[in-house]
Amino acid sequence: MQQIAPFTLMDLVLAAGEDRLVLNPFSTPREQQRAVSSAAGVFKALGHEGRLRILCHLAVRECSVSELENLIDARQSVVSQHLARLKADQLVLARREGHTIYYSIGDKRIADLLRAFVVHQHQAFGGTR
Q: Which residues contact 22 (CB under 8 A, 6 or more apart)?
A: 13, 14, 15, 16
Each residue's pLDDT expressed in tens, for the chain with a length of 129 residues: 444 445 455 555 555 555 666 667 777 888 778 777 888 888 898 899 999 999 999 999 999 999 999 999 999 999 999 999 999 988 999 999 999 999 999 888 888 888 888 888 888 887 554
Per-domain residue ranges of the chain: 1-46, 52-129
Number of other residues whose CB lies within 10 A of the CB of residue 93: 15
Q: What is the pLDDT of residue 129?
A: 47
Q: What is the dihedral of CA 78, 90, 4, 29, to 10 degrees?
A: 90
Q: What is the pLDDT of residue 101?
A: 96
Q: Are 12 and 31 in contact (CB under 8 A)?
A: yes
CATH architecture group of domain 52-129: Orthogonal Bundle (1.10)
Q: What is the pLDDT of residue 95?
A: 97
Distance in angstroms (rounded) separating the CA atoms of residues 105 and 46: 13
Distance in angstroms (rounded) separating the CA atoms of residues 29 and 18: 26
